[in-house]
Amino acid sequence: MANTILVGAQWGDEGKGKIIDVLTEQADVVVRTQGGNNAGHTVFIGPKKYVLHLIPSGILRKKKTCVIGNGVVVDPIGLVSEIEGLRKIGVKVNGNLFVSETAHVVFPYHRELDAQREVLKGKNKIGTTKRGIGPAYGDKAARVGLRMIDLINAERFEQKLAAKVKENNEVLKAFGAKPLSFKEVHKTYRAAGDYLKPFVANTVTLLHQAVRRGDDILFEGAQGTFLDIDHGTYPYVTSSNTTSGGACTGSGVAPNRMDRVVGVLKAYTTRVGEGPLPTENAEVADMLHAMGREFGATTGRARRCGWFDSVATRHATMVNGIDDLAVTNIDGLDTVETIKVCIGYRDGKKKYDYMPNDVEVLARCEPVYAEFPGWRTPTDKARSWKQLPPKCREYLKAIAELTEAKLFIASVGPAREQTIFV
């Protein structure tokens, strides 16, 4: 399989968890490189549903090494409960999970500040997951963050945490929020530090050993291209590089060691949180929600939904260097009579065949649609390209062509076996 970077080509929730799980079969090492427990990767194995937030979904397969890279922000309390949850259902988490020493730690003041800033923004809020992701990356960039290596060093941790809680309590008071108890935070974080110590490692040298051995490494992206801090619909984005470059900086594996980029996208479009979504459509949302689909894995929020946007996905191909496409949730369109695909934007007289950078312009843009006849046949039982209805194949070929990448996987449901290699 070689070294593969997997990214979301839309606004997150493209079904990456499932595709990663399928591709992991051929991988030796699976690496998370950015984001934190704002992510929610859902994997179904048989009748069992697993939602992972920080741990790479490779953990669900035997004999895979899983790495949480330096680019991730780690909520240690969340990570402990994720490990415990997996162990409780019989998944081995011992000697197969490594957390970077230099990954930054998320603290309760990050979560509290995340929430307070959203309140202050009022109607301009981002709609964050309130997991403290933005403030944690903010501390990292401001060079005042604490890292995993600090968390597992009892003496150093106590000193650094005391200063951080003191400073942040002043900020929280200014927001009119309740200050935190150092004692309490210290106690719970130290306990988590002791629990996590065996997992903390120099993951850069570990990954380089894997590269030298010729292991196949899968870099599992979280969130999606348009939530990227640089390339997304700023400020309605998350605080990390969700695009393929983030896999290099977030792991310490260099660009010339990467072989391939896979972009995951839904056969339609969804977004959680605020910010422009040009193809948003109430009928599409009602249809999908009525099917019980499109509720967030992390926050349970109903996702906003719309038609496939090829202006966006073509942009994703450009900034990520996507070679291959995995199209998911095809079965979500099984009942639609006429399927629309956005092929351009219009803002008054001005036409765009690319994503304008100004979010106010993007928010004003009206989609220009092409129409495709729906296949109106269930696809969830299809197990090969030939078993897909001809109109469905036409649609998939068209969206891949418009996205300017090669169709690689067609996914017709959440299960492993509902995966068609094209």
- Catalytic residue numbers read 13, 41
* Residue 223 interacting entry, from ligand IMP, Mg ion, none, C-beta within 5 to 8 Å by type: ligand IMP
Smallest distance from ligand IMP to CB 370, Å: 27
Report which of 15, 14, 19 is spatially closest to residue 30, judged by C-alpha positions: 19
Q: Identify whether the C-beta of residue 411 lies closer than 8 Å to the C-beta of residue 15.
A: yes
238 contacts ligand IMP (rule: CB under 6 A):
yes
The footprint of ligand IMP on residues 244-273 (CB under 6 A) is 272-273
Residue with tokens 């496409």: 325
Between 12 and 367, CB nearer to ligand IMP: 12
Between 106 and 227, CB nearer to Mg ion: 227
Between 111 and 315, CB nearer to ligand IMP: 111
The footprint of ligand IMP on residues 314-353 (CB under 6 A) is none
What is the contact mask toward ligand IMP in residues 40 to 69, using x (rule: CB under 6 A)? x-----------------------------
Q: Which two tokens stand for residue 51?
A: 């939602």
Between 227 and 342, CB nearer to ligand IMP: 227
Smallest distance from Mg ion to CB 284, Å: 19
**Order of strands across the sheet with 419-421?**
200-201, 97-100, 65-68, 29-32, 217-220, 4-8, 260-266, 324-328, 406-411, 419-421
Q: Identify whether the C-beta of residue 222 lies closer than 8 Å to the C-beta of residue 202.
A: no
Q: CB count, 10 Å around CB of 328? A: 25
* Residue 272 interacting entry, from ligand IMP, Mg ion, none, C-beta within 5 to 8 Å by type: ligand IMP
227 contacts ligand IMP (rule: CB under 6 A):
yes
219 DSSP β-pair partners: 5, 31
What residue type is assigned to position 352 of the chain? Y
In the list 3, 38, 203, 251, the residue contacting ligand IMP (rule: CB under 6 A) is 38
Between 102 and 128, CB nearer to ligand IMP: 128
In the list 6, 43, 83, 133, the residue contacting ligand IMP (rule: CB under 6 A) is 133
In the list 39, 52, 217, 405, the residue contacting ligand IMP (rule: CB under 6 A) is 39
CA distance 96 to 5: 20
CB under 5 A: which stretch of 76-84, 290-298, 300-308, 357-365 binds Mg ion? 290-298
* Residue 134 interacting entry, from Mg ion, ligand IMP, none, C-beta within 5 to 8 Å by type: ligand IMP
Smallest distance from ligand IMP to CB 139, Å: 14
Q: Which two tokens stand for residue 230?
A: 């640089």
Between 20 and 222, CB nearer to ligand IMP: 222
235 preceded by cis ω (within 30°)? yes
In the list 127, 356, 374, 389, the residue contacting ligand IMP (rule: CB under 6 A) is 127
Between 125 and 160, CB nearer to ligand IMP: 125
- Using CB under 6 A as the binding criterion, the count of chain residues that bind ligand IMP stands at 19
CA distance 193 to 187: 10
CA distance 215 to 217: 6
Between 13 and 324, CB nearer to Mg ion: 13
What is the contact mask toward Mg ion in residues 38 to 57, using x (rule: CB under 5 A)? --x-----------------
In whole angstroms, how large is the CA radius of gyration of the chain?
Answer: 21
131 contacts ligand IMP (rule: CB under 6 A):
yes
Report which of 130, 106, 80 is spatially closest to residue 296, judged by C-alpha positions: 130
The footprint of Mg ion on residues 8-37 (CB under 5 A) is 13
Q: Rounded to 10 degrees, what is the CA torsion of 413, 63, 93, 253?
A: -90
In the list 58, 69, 71, 134, the residue contacting ligand IMP (rule: CB under 6 A) is 134
* Residue 129 interacting entry, from ligand IMP, Mg ion, none, C-beta within 5 to 8 Å by type: ligand IMP
Sign of torsion, CA 141 144 147 149?
Answer: positive
Smallest distance from Mg ion to CB 160, Å: 32
- Rule CB under 5 A: which residues touch Mg ion? 13, 40, 297
- Rule CB under 6 A: which residues touch ligand IMP? 12-13, 38-40, 126-129, 131, 133-134, 222-223, 227, 238-239, 272-273
